[in-house]
C-alpha cells in the first residue's frame, strides 16, 4: 500500500491573487462567506489551516448589498463601552446609513479566525461603498459571487 505525503507550502510557494467582488444586489451573508473563504485560502489546493495561504479581496458597491426578510429593521449590532448604561445598539438599516461598509466588514470578520492569523487576513480586505476603487493598477480579477 502506498502512503500519501502531506505537503506544507513554504512562503515562497504561496501565490497570491487580487480579486474584485461587486456586491451590488448580492445577499450579505453569502458574499461574506465567499470573501472569508478566499481570504482564508480555502479555494486553493494548497490550503493549510494554520498558515495564511489566502488572497487579497476588493469589494465595491457595499452600500447596495441586500438582506432577506425583515433583517434591515430587526437585525441589531450591539457595542458596550464598559461603563454603566454604556451599551448601544444599531439596526442594520441605521448602520447602512451611518457606515455602509461596516456591516459587510463585521460579517466577514466574524467568519475568519480570531488571533494572529485572523489579523493577517483582515489586512487583505478592502471594502468600498461606491463602484470606484484605487486599485486599478494591480489589475484585479473580477469574481462572480
- pLDDT, one tens digit per residue, over 60-113 is 999 999 999 999 999 999 999 999 999 999 999 999 999 999 999 999 999 999
The count of domains in the chain is 1
Contact 17, 124 (CB under 8 A): no
Residue tagged 474584485 (cell numbers): 20
Range(s) of the domain holding residue 119: 16-66+100-143
**Does residue 50 sit within a domain?**
yes
**Does residue 41 sit within a domain?**
yes
Residue 102 in 3-state DSSP? helix
For 85, the grid coordinates are: 448604561
Full-model pTM:
0.92
At 6 the pLDDT is: 81
Q: How many CB atoms lie within 10 A of CB 119?
A: 12
- Calpha distance 65→133 (Å, rounded): 17
What CATH number corresponds to the domain at position 128?
A: 3.90.1180.10
3-48 pLDDT tens trace: 888 888 998 999 999 999 999 999 999 999 999 999 999 999 889 9
Amino acid at each position: 500500500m502506498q502512503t500519501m505525503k502531506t505537503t506544507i507550502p513554504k512562503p515562497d510557494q504561496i501565490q497570491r491573487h487580487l480579486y474584485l467582488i461587486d456586491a451590488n444586489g448580492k445577499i450579505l451573508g453569502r458574499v461574506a462567506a465567499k470573501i472569508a473563504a478566499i481570504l482564508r485560502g480555502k479555494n486553493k489546493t494548497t490550503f493549510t489551516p494554520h498558515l495564511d495561504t489566502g488572497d487579497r479581496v476588493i469589494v465595491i458597491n457595499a452600500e447596495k448589498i441586500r438582506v432577506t426578510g425583515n433583517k434591515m429593521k430587526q437585525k441589531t449590532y450591539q457595542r458596550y463601552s464598559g461603563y454603566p448604561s454604556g451599551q448601544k445598539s444599531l439596526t442594520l438599516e441605521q448602520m447602512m446609513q451611518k457606515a455602509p461598509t461596516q456591516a459587510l466588514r463585521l460579517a466577514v470578520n466574524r467568519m475568519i479566525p480570531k488571533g494572529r492569523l485572523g489579523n493577517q487576513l483582515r489586512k487583505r480586505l478592502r471594502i468600498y461603498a461606491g463602484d470606484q476603487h484605487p486599485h486599478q493598477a494591480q489589475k484585479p480579477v473580477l469574481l462572480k459571487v
